[in-house]
Structure 1
Amino acid sequence: MAAFAAAVLLLAGCGASGGDRRGGGKGAPKPGVTAAQAKKPNIVYVLTDDLDWDLVKYMPNVKRLQQRGMTFSNYFVADTLCCPSRATILTGKYPHNTGVRSNDPPTGGFDVFNSNGNEQQTFSVALQKAGYNTALMGKYLNGYEPNQRQGATRTYVPPGWTEWQVTGLGYGMYNYDLNGNGTITHHGRKPGDYLNTVVSDKSVDFVNRSAAAGQPFMLEVSTFSPHSPAVAAPEDSHSFGNLKAPRTPGFNEPDISDKPGWLRKYPRLRPRQIKAIDEAYRQRVRAVQSVDRMIGRLQQTVDAKGLGNDTYFVFNSDNGYHLGQHRLEEGKLTAYDTDIRVPLIVAGPGVKPGTTEARFAQNTDLCPTFEELAGLTPPANTDGRSLVPLLHGAQVPDWRISAFIEHLGPKFNKYDPDLPKKYGGNPPTYSAVRTASELYVEYENGDREYYDLSRDPYELGSLAAQMPPARQTELQGVLDGYRTCSGASCRSIR
């Protein structure tokens, strides 16, 4: 199926701004597109919250998606926190360029995303202008929730979205207000009010209506699952009763004398803490069952409309999650692989089934990927690169060989749903670079971490003190380039 669009002029998206152009210009159509290539594919993007790789084995529809498509084994997020990561997904920009460094003002959240002009630079704006029906179902950005202090957000619908069914504090899955295209509807505690059920129904309806209209669609289903408290659907609430969190070599790590100062003081996990971790893992597995069924249901809906060969399915998470590794209770925010390396699975036209792609990808790449799938040329000031060549089996020279992670910390806002527990992991500000065989972290307070992942894949022994000076200089140079990069300068870093 052809994946390119006919000519569409002056499209915004992925950080478009006047004068900064790449290829055909600001979100411009790809040059040389013929009439035979004009059919636009549909895109179904399922973005989960805090889902790590350990949960995928309990999601049969996601595993079927892997069989039908491509799994990115080295996909990393640029920040292991919800709002910065989602802002990067929407715009294709690193957090230091969106200005969204946390979940809360003045360093992040919906208000900062909006005031910095990011809402005009999302993939939804570009695709809507290109003729797509666009929909967001579920979660948007932290701070969007309607309340007395932010009454203006109660019925506000951001630009670029044809269909908008969003709530802000849906973590409990019940008793929430849903903004449906500017109209607020309250959902209570009946089984039918379970948020993933409501979102699933509305997503299926959107697909059916778009198909009936003969219009290409971009559907983003953005779940709160399995974010804590990881509330499962009623039919899943007692399943998986004997599961325990994976006991990897790093679980309740016996010796953390090599770790940075913020972590070295953590005591070993006690039996009651391990018991709580196991219960959290069971809850997380239960919580993703409704997400998995939603994916299967959407696939069936697309197939029933005869659109299966014209639709890309993308499964992803905004960040990972740790459960007991390095003595950390449940949480995220660290630069360890548990938190930064998350699922990205894509199936659709031109994607070879059952393949694994080991080249590096980041959440900066999703916005330009969606634009190129729609037939557009991503704008020049996009920090990420389109993954379409990799999806279609192309040999791309000079592809990146590193990933950049930046985090603003520590977190203390008691109202933040991502505030860590006492021993959940609350590191100070850091930046990190991940290569195929290394993790190098620089903390604002001067601490360093360095792991040889080829010998130490579970990050048990930091070698920062024994690091070869020449290699440290090289990695510091890579970090320095990433910290201040923008647009082409980000894409040129390897």
Structure 2
Amino acid sequence: MIICARGKPFGRLVAAVTLLITAGCTADPAPPAPVVTPATSPPAVLASPAPPPNIVLVLVDDLSMNLVPYMPNVRKLQRDGTTFTGYTVTDSLCCPSRASLFTGRFPHNTGIVKNHGSDGGFRLFHSRGLERSTFATDLRGAGYRTAFLGKYLNEYEPGERMGGDRPYVPPGWDQWYAGGNAYPGFDYQLNENGRVVSYGSKPKDYLTDVLAGKAVDFISATATTGKPFLIEVATYAPHHPYTPAPRDANLFPGLRAPRTAAWNRAPEDTVWLAGKPELTARQERDIDEDFRLRVQSVQSVDRMIGRLRSALATAGAADRTVVVFTSDNGYHMGEYSLPAGKQTAFDTDVNVPLVMAGPGIGAGRDAAAVVTNVDLRPTFAEWAGLPAPAEADGRSITPLLSGSTPAGWPRAALIEHHDPATDPRDPDFERDSMNIPPSYDALRTATFTYIEYVDGTVEYFDRTSDPDMLRNVAGTLGPERLTALRSAVRGLATCVGADACGAAADAVK
């Protein structure tokens, strides 16, 4: 494997990569340099520190792994960069997951465990002061120009004033184009830098395309200033109702949802799925139709990624920009005899794409180390030359960019899901009660998933021998092993700060 980077702070990474590219980085060792005697040695020249990289974060909504094969620009990003195959979200629900990404903190520390109401949503995020310390405030304070476009947090509405005299723009953002309940993709409003703008139902109003155009404009304008920039484009696609762009509405005729080993099959010896009936023929038809809509709807997201990368190249900024692609959570559609939904600890819902490409990041590489969305804020901070945020529970993944996992890297990711989405006002409301797992805390390592439900029952899936998570083998574990797992999940579910959370995760065996 050709490795053209070292696990150092990002500024030094960029400098190292630049030197390697200049020298023609290859898989073969470079020939020995000629010996230079003191008499002929040239004067020392101090290298200028590399400027911090720009960051383009594309966050999509409810994107599952099985959609990536239909996204050629994402696959190109994978060939050009590194795919973190062990990436896990802290909660397979929109708002708790996004809160973790912004703050670098687990849901038990943000207090955001639901999409809205007394224990979740934008209003609680705002009232708890969490907006005052995010990756946006970090980077803006470091001199970055910042922009946010798309879906923010559940309950946010473009006209919200939050006590001010203009529609509210959170701290940390120089440019702000955020929507509210814009899931249909048409007939929505955006808060555009404190001014509410309405969009209609014409093809030109399709939301993903509108966000793409504004993002390209921001990149083109900001790249000329010489200042580093951070832009997050948070699409609503492919969230329900899975609306595709009009030009994509006839694509993929006859496409059906993948019939994996888990299709329409409840796992053996499970707790909350015991006695789950098989899907009806009508449910299967609905899932197939919706899967096709989801594939159609991500075509505009995929084109947007291509447009953003083209804009970076045209602006001469591609070689100093990291492009990050990920999702707030995954999605199941027919697996485990479940209708379409999320919120479970199955890999369909919690193991989502994370792809990074840019200077200092190896091309065509898969990284299997445990990574979670609380790690992104510390990573962005390191790239900007900042110390790790004091309150973050995650750690920078920059050491993984060298192609190896350093000693002491956490062995487990924490997944916590509490107070499930059972309110009809919630956009993720599950009408089928059998699709709603009880509250739980879970551990996900490279080899197993352990789930502890609110009533004390447990599940254990050995994903090495059972990658589709179809056999709960918790009953085969001895009492000492179960005690150790219970202790480990308690340690992670109560940890505070990167050191404590890292130690708790590394203690998982």
* TM-score normalised per structure 2: 0.88
1:401 aligns with 2:400: no
Structure 1 residues 260 and 395, CA gap change in structure 2 (3 angstroms)? closer
- Residue of 411, 429, 448 corresponding to 1:438: 448
Which one-letter code corresponds to 2:418 in the other structure? L
In the alignment, which residue of structure 1 is the partner of 2:277? 267
Partner Cα distance (1:395, 1:307) in 2: 29
1:311 matches 2:321: yes
Conservation of the 8 A alpha-carbon contact between 2:158 and 2:168:
no
Distance 1:118 1:213, change over 3 A: same
How far apart are residue 133 of structure 1 and its match?
0.7
Provide closer, same or farther for how the CA distance between residues 151 and 422 of structure 1 changes in structure 2, counting only shifts above 3 A. farther
Name the counterpart of 2:481: 471
Post-superposition CA distance 1:233-282 (Å, at most 9, x none): 011011011211111111000x5551213x22421001111010111110
Q: Could you say if the C-alpha distance between residues 250 and 153 of structure 1 is closer, same or farther in structure 2, counting changes exceeding 3 Å?
A: farther
* Amino acid in the other structure paired with 1:183: R
- Say whether the 8 Å CA contact 1:335–1:441 is kept in structure 2: yes
Summarize deviations over 1:198-254 as a string: whole Å, max 9, x none.
10010000001101222111010000010001100011011011211111111000x
Letter of the aligned partner of 1:4 in structure 2?
Answer: G
- 3-state SS of paired residue (2:224): helix
Q: 1:424 to 1:145 in 2, by over 3 A?
A: farther
Aligned equivalents of 1:368 and 1:150: distance in 2? 29
State whether structure 2 residue 147 is matched by structure 1 residue 135: yes
Query: Is contact 2:267–2:472 with CA below 8 Å preserved after alignment?
Result: no
Aligned-residue offset at 1:88: 0.3
Q: CA deviation at 1:465?
A: 1.9
Contact 2:287 2:333 in 1 (8 A): yes
Q: Which structure 2 segments of 5+ residues have no match?
A: 13-45
In 2, Cα distance between equivalents of 1:154 and 1:194: 26
* CA deviation after TM superposition for structure 1 residue 149, in Å: 11
Q: Which amino acid aligns with 1:492?
A: A
User: Secondary structure of the residue that 1:328 maps to in structure 2?
Assistant: coil
Which residue of 1 is the match for residue 96 of structure 2? 84
Query: Where does residue 26 of structure 2 map in the other structure?
Result: none
**SS at 1:492's partner residue?**
helix
Q: Is the 8 A contact 2:107 2:416 kept in 1?
A: yes
CA 1:383–1:134 in structure 2 vs 1: closer, same or farther (change >3 Å)? Answer: same
Cα distance in 2 for residues equivalent to 1:224 and 1:112 = 21
Give the alignment partner of residue 242 of structure 1, picking from 248, 254, 270.
254
Displacement after TM superposition at 1:162 (Å): 0.6
Deviations 1:129-180 (A, max 9, x none): 1111101100100010246997979710000001100001110001111000
Q: Is the CA contact 2:268–2:470 (under 8 Å) kept in the aligned structure 1?
A: no
Name 2:240's counterpart in structure 1.
228
Q: State the match for 2:175 in structure 1.
A: 163
Contact 2:267 2:469 in 1 (8 A): no
Aligned partner letter, 2:296: R
> Which residue in 2 is equivalent to 1:387?
397
State the AA in 2 paired with 1:450. Answer: Y
Q: Any stretches of 5+ residues in structure 1 without a counterpart?
A: 6-33
Find the counterpart in structure 2 of residue 4 from structure 1. 11
Give, in whole Å, the separation in 2 of the partners of 1:389 and 1:410: 35
2:11 alignment partner, SS class = coil
* Other-structure match for 1:184: 196
Work out the CA distance in 2 between the residues paired with 1:270 and 1:82: 28
Whole-angstrom CA distance in 2 between matches of 1:470 and 1:271: 44
Q: Normalising to structure 1: TM-score of the pair? A: 0.91
CA distance in 1, matches of 2:47, 2:195: 40
* Alignment map for 1:411-450 (pairs within 5 Å): 411-422=421-432, 425-450=435-460
Change (3 A) 1:339 1:36: same
Aligned amino acid, residue 395 of structure 2: R
Of 97, 104, 122, the match for 2:116? 104
Are the counterparts in 1 of residues 183 and 240 from structure 2 also a CA contact under 8 Å? yes
- Within 2, Cα distance between the matches of 1:328 and 1:127? 41
The one-letter amino acid of 2:247's match is: E
Q: How far has the Cα of 1:375 moved from its partner?
A: 1.1
Q: CA deviation at 1:410?
A: 3.2
Post-superposition offset of 1:450: 1.0
Q: Distance in 1 between matches of 2:101 and 2:467?
A: 27
Does 316-325 or 418-427 show the bigger shift? 418-427
Answer yes or no: is the 8 Å Cα contact 2:211–2:233 preserved in 1: yes
Secondary structure of the 1:316 match is: strand
Matched with 1:213 is 225
C-alpha contact (below 8 Å) 1:154/1:184 kept by paired residues: no
Range that drifts further, 410-419 or 337-346: 410-419
Cα drift, residue 436 of structure 1: 1.7
Residue 334 of structure 1: how far off its partner (Å): 0.2
Secondary structure (helix, strand or coil) at the match of 2:435 reads coil
Q: Distance in 1 between matches of 2:268 and 2:393?
A: 37
1:122 aligned to which of 127, 134, 150: 134
RMSD: 1.9
CA contact (8 A) 1:74 1:341 kept: yes
Q: Deviations over 1:382-425 (max 9, x none)?
A: 10010111124465220011111000133321110001131662
Report which stretch shifted further, 147-156 or 223-232: 147-156
Identity, in percent, stands at: 47
Amino acid at match of 2:117: P
- 1:250-329 equivalences under 5 Å are 250-253=262-265, 256=267, 258-261=269-272, 263-329=273-339
| CA spacing shift, 1:454–1:38, aligned 2, 3 Å | closer
Letter matched to residue 479 of structure 2: P
Q: What is the CA–CA distance in structure 1 between the aligned matches of 2:435 and 2:47, rounded to whole Å?
A: 54
Based on CA coordinates, which of the two structures has the bigger radius of gyration? 2
Q: Supply the AA of the counterpart residue of 1:485.
A: C
Distance 1:225 1:447 in 2: 35
Q: C-alpha separation between the residues in 2 aligned to 1:380 and 1:184?
A: 35
Q: Does 1:175 align with 2:182?
A: no
